[in-house]
Amino acid sequence: MAGLKINNVTKHFSDFAALSDVTLDIADGEFVAVLGPSGCGKTTLLRLVAGFEQLDKGEIVIGGKMMSGGRANVPPENRKVGIVFQNYALWPHMNVAENVGYSLKVAKVDRATREKRIEEALALVNLQGFGERRPANLSGGQRQRVALARCLVAAPSLVLFDEPLANLDVHLRASMEDEFAAFHKRTGTTIIYITHDQAEAMALADRIAVLDHGRLAQFATPRTLYEEPANEMVASFIAQGMVLPAEILSGAREGFCQVRILGQEAVLRCRPDEIARNDAKVCVRADDLDVVETGGIAIRVKRSIYRGGGSRIEAFPVERPDIDLHFDLPDPARLEEGAETRLAIRTGWVIPQAEGAGH
């Protein structure tokens, strides 16, 4: 297995910057998800690592070996990178073992070695004994595992997953998530996992790289992304954070600041270098808001959406109808459209002033 360094990588298509100055240092055996809205550059990054695209600037180093950058441009077949696509495209006329072993056959690996490696690869994805089956007689999840075995049989130094679960139904996705996590634990393979599903990224990855318009917005653990978003984009993208204007009344003390938000004072988490300022933005989530009888922020309900066991309430501050708020109201409490109540902010995070990919 191998680590991966993506250093200051830039890629243009004509004059459109698909990736700008992206740097990611991924450790040997790490599971990294690359997350971001459609068109942010995820697939382009994957194609650059695999060697299907050439970069304009920067370098890509796999296992200490320069693959792209400077004079290097190692072709895809020599990078030892395995790829599992969303569209797993197994050959229907071949059985599972033939599908898995095809690349070895092309590489003229002898029959006995081939059979041994196919057997090992199928064991890695928990498909022992499935070698004789045709793809048509497998479930969607099993097919995806055959695709993974087909990539593992070539003993890749790292595996790239491109939205591997996008075509599967919700239940199968959950069980495949478990399978991928177990696979990673068992093998210690370095994994780069492209997805636009943040729950999937949160559940699986050691660290998540969030891309925004081709730039790295933040590269951090799931917990840090959620609790300490580095900028407004990450704050609002991860778990539907609400970004609100605020005034910092006193600088950081032991990780907290006194803040005024929509007229209400609250104590929020912040970076240790945070100072008093009146142009701050804070991130609060539905869980951070409590309905109160007195104090807090006066709000009016726009919409109530029943969610089983409670409702998601969409509302706005009476004094600031331009700001959207949302929170969850457990049954049996109800708030209908037009109702007025008050919300207190229990906690939240002061979004750092400086842009950058914090850790």
Residues that bind ligand ATP (CB under 6 A): 13, 16, 18, 36, 38-44, 196
Nearer to ligand ATP, 14 or 294 (CB): 14
Smallest separation (angstroms) from ligand ATP to the CB of 218:
16
**Least CB distance to ligand ATP at residue 209 (A):** 12
Which CB atom, from 50 or from 313, has the smaller least distance to ligand ATP? 50
Among 224, 235, 85, 218, smallest CA distance to 148 is for 85
223 CB contacts (<8 Å, ≥6 apart)?
A: none
Are 32 and 26 a contacting pair, CB within 8 Å? yes
Structure tokens at 35: 């997350």
Q: How far is the CB of 5 from ligand ATP (least distance, A)?
A: 20
Nearest CA-CA partner of 102 in 114, 88, 120? 114
Q: Is 121 strand, coil or helix?
A: helix
DSSP for 4-64? EEEEEEEEEETTEEEEEEEEEEE-TT-EEEEE-STTSSHHHHHHHHHTSS--SEEEEEETT
Q: How far is the CB of 162 from ligand ATP (least distance, A)?
A: 8
Minimum distance from CB of 4 to ligand ATP (Å)? Answer: 17
Q: In this complex, which beta carbon is closest to ligand ATP, that of residue 54 or of residue 128?
A: 54
The distance between the two most distant Cα atoms of the chain, rounded to a whole number of Å, is: 78
Is the Cβ of residue 214 or residue 352 nearer to ligand ATP in the bound state?
Answer: 214
Q: How far is the CB of 96 from ligand ATP (least distance, A)?
A: 29
Strand partners, 209: 34, 219
* 44 or 190: CB nearest ligand ATP: 44
Q: Which residue number, 44 or 311, has a Cβ lying nearer to ligand ATP?
A: 44
Q: Which two three-digit tokens encode residue 138?
A: 């497998």
Q: Quote the least distance from Cβ 89 to ligand ATP, whole Å.
A: 17
> What backbone torsions phi and psi does residue 44 show, to the nearest 5 degrees?
-60, -40
Please count the other Cβ atoms lying within 10 Å of the Cβ belonging to residue 300: 16
Which CB, 36 or 222, lies closer to ligand ATP? 36
| CA pair distance 81, 76, nearest whole angstrom | 8
